[in-house]
Amino acid sequence: MSVHLQLKKQMTNFIAAEKKYKELDKRREEKIEEVIKEARANKDFSLNEVNALTEELNNLRRSFGFLPMRKTVTKEMVFDYINRD
């Protein structure tokens, strides 16, 4: 494979990874907002979906080091956030 084709393939992979990362990050933020609403309403909530998305994001980051790492969200983090006001 020529260098030109290798670079094109790398760039295509880079763009696809960045697009997927942005989509996953948006879904993660939406799920976090849902969790915050549930917590504020004193409802029981789960962070499974949020942290599954977090793991997918971090796996992409491991494959493409240019992407930011995301922290696993804990219930303590949620309660700290809603009680900071």
What digits encode the pLDDT tens for the residues 13-43? 889 999 999 999 999 999 999 999 999 999 9
DSSP-assigned states of every residue in 17-77: HHHHHHHHHHHHHHHHHHHHHHHHTT-----HHHHHHHHHHHHHHHHSTTSPP-PPP-HHH
Q: Residue 46's pLDDT is what?
A: 97
Q: What is the pLDDT of residues 4-16, one digit of tens each?
A: 888 899 889 889 9
d(CA 25, CA 3): 32
pTM: 0.86
Q: Residue 65's pLDDT is what?
A: 78
Structural contact between residues 71 and 32, judged by C-beta atoms closer than 8 angstroms: no
- Residue length, the chain? 85
Q: Residue 64's pLDDT is what?
A: 80
